[in-house]
Chain A
């Protein structure tokens, strides 16, 4: 392997890890607080991407500058969180918190299936491609390798920003503390007047926004087509399970591990590249069933 290929694999891995991490962050936040493994997270990711592509296409056709794609990503993510995440928690999940995990999994899987079909109804099955945001930021050459600024710098920066932002939000702010308190003991939280329903709704919306943001940020780098949500939920679940469910910092490390593992495999042993994330997950879970950073007893956030 020469240096160029090594760097390409490294950059691919980093930018990919950043995207997967953003999605996994939402998944692990929701699991950590609400103990629900939200399969529909993958659909929220896909819809975030579709919404961004549609909105960007629409505004660019009106003559707006490509830079406008960035605020539209945030708008798409927030719309996904509010319009889909909110009702999913409020209408469905709220009723099944005390039900067995299998049932919760089935419900979120059903939501996933419904949303997958809804995507086909709205956007059809043809692929979309909208790379204005990617092109707007141009390229950067590092050690003779040219790569997009969007993927090599922006995506990792956003991922790191979200990691520290969420950490700060949960550990330092009032609402973060109330979320952690509710996570630790729902009844005690209610007995001091915390509206646990609202805390859960808010948490789920934040998680859903992260899924939508992942999709929005991924949209300029890939073709948007049916099935992308399924791929992402499996992958981000692999990240979350490898890290230990509910582990925010751990998810960053696991995302890097899996992202780099996959991108190096693409260059070194392409036949198994698709398998690598799951091989890593299986290996880690065989040795540490609670994940790299998980504690065997209680979850923490």
Chain B
């Protein structure tokens, strides 16, 4: 296993840590003793063939799936058995392959709903548009270059805009860690890098660590700080994009398929 990044930041427990996660669906082992450490401040890409357990890993970290064995720690705190919404409140947000926006509401309202949920409905009878986070939410929309469509309903927006707003919605939860499933899937290939650039910039600005599943090696090479290769329910390799993308095993098992 390549471990170029280990030991870079070692003050206290890692941001997220999993120990010996096991989960089986029928005969398929989707997580096979996964032990991962995710350090703060880096964008980690997860690559690997379909069915390798990448999404399962994200689902376990966010509480949507409960492992049959093993534990998940957030800064040393055991969050394995917490329901998803409590994990969100503790700072682990999730963006899905298909943006989960409230399509009948405007972009800004989607963020405001997030902000209100984050604050646990402190002033439930207040007007949504008067809540004090409004400026903060406009700033987030600005971060993802979507301030101009703040008052459009989600159905009117392009797929790329929805992706970015979905990320802004996740950022509205003030997460420390954002887990994303193919952040640029569905976006026209000519715009993928642009969307990813905005996204990575927004994450850096907001000080959010990210983990994203990605199939596009061009995106991985350009936007990830670190890459983990998943295979058969476990991490096979981990290292910098350069190390990983030139690794013979990866070329054979992951990239080779796409080139051929």
Which positions in A face B, CB cutoff 8 Å? 169, 172-178, 180-181, 184-185, 187-196, 300
Chain B residues proximal to chain A, CB less than 8 Å: 62, 84-85, 88-89, 93-94, 96, 100-105, 109, 112-114, 116-118, 121, 123-129, 131, 169-170, 172-173
**Does B113 contact A178, Cβ atoms closer than 8 Å?**
yes
Contact A174 B103 (CB under 8 A): no
Please determine whether B127 and A172 come into contact, CB atoms closer than 8 angstroms: yes
Taking the closest CB of chain B, its distance from the CB of A33, in whole angstroms, is 14
Contact of A177 among B88, B89, B113 (CB under 8 A): B113
User: In the complex, A271 Cα to B199 Cα: how many Å?
Assistant: 70
Complex-state Cα separation, A189 to B173, whole angstroms? 12
Residues of A contacting B: mostly:
helix
Nearest-Cβ distance from residue A98 to partner chain B, whole angstroms: 16
Partner of A188, one of B100, B104, B123, B172: B100
A196 to B121, CA, bound (A): 12
Interface pair B117/A194, CB less than 8 Å apart: yes
Tell me if B88 and A175 are in contact (CB < 8 A). no
- Measured between alpha carbons, how far is A190 from B113 in the docked complex, in Å? 12
Q: How far is the CA of A16 from the CA of B105 in the complex (A)?
A: 36
User: What residue of chain A has the Cβ atom nearest to residue B85's Cβ?
Assistant: A193
Q: Are A174 and B116 in contact (CB under 8 A)?
A: yes
Instruction: Select one of A173, A185, A191 contacting B84, CB under 8 A.
Output: A191
CB pairs A–B below 8 angstroms (20 shown): A172-B128, A173-B124, A173-B125, A174-B126, A174-B131, A180-B105, A181-B105, A185-B102, A190-B84, A191-B88, A191-B100, A192-B88, A192-B114, A192-B169, A193-B85, A193-B89, A193-B173, A195-B85, A196-B85, A300-B104
Instruction: Point out the residues of chain B lying under 8 angstroms from A177, CB to CB.
Output: 105, 109, 112-113, 116, 128
Which residue, B93, B94, B104, B112, has most C-beta atoms of chain A within 10 A? B104
Q: With A and B bound together, what is the CA distance between A181 and B101 in angstroms?
A: 9
